Chains A and B, each alone.
Chain A
Amino acid sequence: MILVQQLVLGLLVGGLYGLAAAGLSLVFGVLKVLNVAHGELIMLGGYGAFWLWVLLGFDPLLALPLVVAGALAFGVLLYWGLFAFVVRAHEETRIKNSLLIGFGLALATHALAVRLWTADERSITTTYAGAVLSLGPIAIPLVRLASLVLAFALIGALHLLLQRWRWGRAIRATAEDWEAAALTGIDVRRAYLLAFAIGTGLAGAAGTLVSVGYSISPSIGLEWTLKALIVVVLAGLGSMLGTFVGGLVLGLAEAASAFAFGGPYREVVGLVIFLAVLVARPRGLFAR
């Protein structure tokens, strides 16, 4: 029964892994830049929701759209300020420079967050935070269940956006072959900007959900970047629903390994899977 309970909790956190990875995957797939500050963007999103709750008394459900809107705007600024310079370079230089810039951004953001919010762990404790759904011996925390559902809804919305919206199709075309996309009259720079902003918006959403069901601190950035990277490598690029499933798989694998080897090693197992996949299939498990 403990195993089943662990797996359920793993599945619930897995939804957030999927959401965290979706933004990274979109940016990586479209702009061909690897933003290693993605976890820091999640952290900032979490603090955004935290501030809305502490200072203005906003419920996290109400805060979610506000944080996403703020994150979208922040993404536009980040793109104009930094990544627009990176995408001018060749693919090889582009990825290396984006890695370095993301890294500098991560350091600066982390230091800034320590100044603004101190290094303490924070989380949003609403009145309904302790509510639990009991299925026989299995307990499901309602807040975490809600964040899984919201994560799935957001990924679904993104999927539809990429399939149906005019600019969504432009983003996919740019991801496939930006030169061909440019030749057919697509404004590639605009597609880059949109994809980057949406990626940042998704990070903001993920951060809000993390601050509700789990906890945030200035140093969670690297951990979430690694989770997102693991999922991206597991799921490959190109399919948002695949990324979501990849997140669930990672959550389940972590839970199973925590059960088998003890809690302290749950992080290690994900990283080992990551290295194994990276070496065996450098393009991802589900890559075509």
Chain B
Amino acid sequence: MSRRGWLALGVTALAALAAVPLVVRRDDVLNFLFLVLLSVALAQSWNVVAGYAGQINLGHAAFFGLGALVTRTLWIAEWPVLAGAALGALAATAFALLVGAVAFRLRGAYFAIGTLALGEILRITVGNVLPEVSTLPTATIGAYRLADRYYFALALAAAAVGVVAALERSRAGLGMQAVREDEEAAEASGVGTLRLKLLALVLSTALAGLAGGLFAYYHISYYPAHPFGPHWTFDALLITFIGGVGTVHGPVLGAVFYVFLKEYLAIRWVDFHLLIFGALFITIVLLLPGGLVEAAARLRTLARRAC
């Protein structure tokens, strides 16, 4: 499809999704779409740093959690929720810069396990400092409107897809892909690798922080350590890889597929989806590194040949 075709598709999808709350009155449908949109935003944020810059961040939940923590705290202190979310994203990004300056001394697998440890440090510490469940004040619960959360999620998911689409063709995005393919070769040909990796981390964590803010806005009560849990990183990773890592539309496809199967399976077996997705994920890494996107492309080639 041409660039204009993609743009038209995106605008149509956005308009259709924006109209949903006006037409559909069922909360379960809105909740389902909300989860898809949150997953798109989270997966896309991980895709920036891992899919484009090639840095497998296994501590992504730390930034999602920080965004949630700051947003929730400010919102309960009666700040407007959007200002809270903006500051939450800022906090996540500031922390990312601090971490990135050190962590990017580590290459490949060492970066991955280093960030994994970092995420766990934050989760345990937050769980120790804030062991009490965080619940919204009664007045706020009374004024709760699902449609507000839905539009926030829609805007964030659209922004995340927009950022990745803009990045893909940009000079910085091409530089990141060069770093992903071969960091030493990129450095040798004059690409500022550290600067680009930091830029990718900043974009990625700003989106993750906003997604965390959205989480804090959506849930009435949760444990403050919950959004720091490693399963948020794992969700982002699974969705991105199953859809197609390093592509714009892969994580979107992956999110729809993932949330649908997860909700469908959860009716019967809790957590059973992880068995299926774990196995699917291994198959994709071994046999189909491009995910669903690549599978679709291969099918199309086959169909064209058959005609």
Q: Is the CB of A271 within 8 A of B282?
A: no
Picked from A82, A99, A109, A111, the residue with its CB within 8 Å of the CB of B109 is A99
A21 partner residues in chain B, CB cutoff 8 A: none
B217-247 residues with Cβ-Cβ distance < 8 A to A are 230, 234, 237-238, 241
A19 partner residues in chain B, CB cutoff 8 A: none
Q: Is the CB of B281 within 8 A of A278?
A: no
Q: Is the CB of B275 within 8 A of A268?
A: no
Q: Is the CB of A274 within 8 A of B117?
A: yes
Q: Mark A88-106, 1 if CB is under 8 A from B, else 0.
A: 0000100111011101111
Q: Mark A252-283, 1 if CB is under 8 A from B, else 0.
A: 00000000000011011001101100110010
Instruction: Answer whether residue B14 sits at the interface, using C-beta atoms and an 8 A cutoff.
Output: no
Q: Which of B20-28, B82-90, B120-128, B192-200 is near enough to bind chain A?
A: B120-128
B285 partner residues in chain A, CB cutoff 8 A: 97, 100-101, 104
B278 partner residues in chain A, CB cutoff 8 A: 104-109, 111
Q: Which residue of B lies closest to A82 (CB)?
A: B282
**Smallest CB separation, B133 vs chain A (Å):** 17
Instruction: Answer whether residue B272 sits at the interface, using C-beta atoms and an 8 A cutoff.
Output: yes
Picked from B110, B118, B286, the residue with its CB within 8 Å of the CB of A282 is B110
Interface of chain A: mostly helix, strand, loop or mixed: helix
B150-182 residues with Cβ-Cβ distance < 8 A to A are none
* Chain A interface category by residue count: 35 or more
Instruction: Tell me, in angstroms, the Cα distance from A282 to B116 when the chains sit together.
Output: 16
Q: Is the CB of A95 within 8 A of B275?
A: no
Known: A82-B282, A268-B124. A99 touches B274 (CB 8 A): no
Q: Is the CB of A111 within 8 A of B117?
A: no
Instruction: Tell me, in angstroms, the Cα distance from A267 to B123 when the chains sit together.
Output: 11
Q: Is the CB of A108 within 8 A of B106?
A: no
A47-103 residues with Cβ-Cβ distance < 8 A to B are 82, 85-86, 92, 95-97, 99-101, 103
Q: Is the CB of A99 within 8 A of B286?
A: no
Picked from B106, B127, B282, the residue with its CB within 8 Å of the CB of A105 is B282
Instruction: Answer whether residue B113 sits at the interface, using C-beta atoms and an 8 A cutoff.
Output: yes
Interface of chain B: mostly helix, strand, loop or mixed: helix
A115 partner residues in chain B, CB cutoff 8 A: 269, 272, 275
Instruction: Tell me, in angstroms, the Cα distance from A106 to B275 when the chains sit together.
Output: 9
A275 partner residues in chain B, CB cutoff 8 A: 114, 117-118, 121
Q: Which residue of A lies closest to B279 (CB)?
A: A108
B109 partner residues in chain A, CB cutoff 8 A: 34, 95-96, 99
Q: Is the CB of B286 within 8 A of A111?
A: no
**Smallest CB separation, B195 vs chain A (Å):** 20
B117 partner residues in chain A, CB cutoff 8 A: 226, 229-230, 271, 274-275, 278
Q: Mark A106-135, 1 if CB is under 8 A from B, else 0.
A: 111111101100000000000000000000
Known: A100-B285, A105-B278. A282 touches B105 (CB 8 A): yes
Instruction: Answer whether residue B10 sits at the interface, using C-beta atoms and an 8 A cutoff.
Output: no
Instruction: Tell me, in angstroms, the Cα distance from A44 to B125 when the chains sit together.
Output: 28
Known: A96-B109, A101-B282, A265-B128. A226 touches B275 (CB 8 A): no
Q: Is the CB of A104 within 8 A of B102?
A: no
Known: A108-B282, A222-B230, A275-B117. A264 touches B124 (CB 8 A): yes
The total of chain B residues at the interface (CB under 8 A) is 40
Known: A96-B56, A111-B275, A267-B120. A104 touches B110 (CB 8 A): no
Known: A279-B106, A282-B106. A104 touches B120 (CB 8 A): no
Picked from A92, A97, A111, the residue with its CB within 8 Å of the CB of B271 is A111
Q: Is the CB of A226 within 8 A of B282?
A: no
Q: Which residue of A lies closest to B238 (CB)?
A: A107
A264 partner residues in chain B, CB cutoff 8 A: 124, 127-128
Q: Which residue of A lies closest to B233 (CB)?
A: A103
Instruction: Answer whether residue B108 sits at the interface, using C-beta atoms and an 8 A cutoff.
Output: yes
Q: Which residue of B lies closest to A91 (CB)?
A: B108
Q: Mark A211-241, 1 if CB is under 8 A from B, else 0.
A: 0000000000010001001100000000000
**Smallest CB separation, A39 vs chain B (Å):** 12
Q: Is the CB of B279 within 8 A of A103?
A: no
Instruction: Tell me, in angstroms, the Cα distance from A272 to B121 when the chains sit together.
Output: 8
> With contacts A101-B285, A103-B281 known, what are 11 further pairs, Cβ within 8 A?
A34-B113, A36-B113, A86-B286, A97-B285, A99-B109, A104-B282, A107-B275, A111-B273, A115-B272, A275-B118, A278-B114
Interface CB pairs A-B, < 8 A, 19? A82-B282, A86-B286, A95-B108, A100-B56, A100-B241, A100-B281, A103-B237, A107-B274, A110-B274, A114-B271, A222-B120, A268-B121, A268-B124, A268-B125, A272-B121, A279-B105, A279-B114, A282-B105, A282-B110
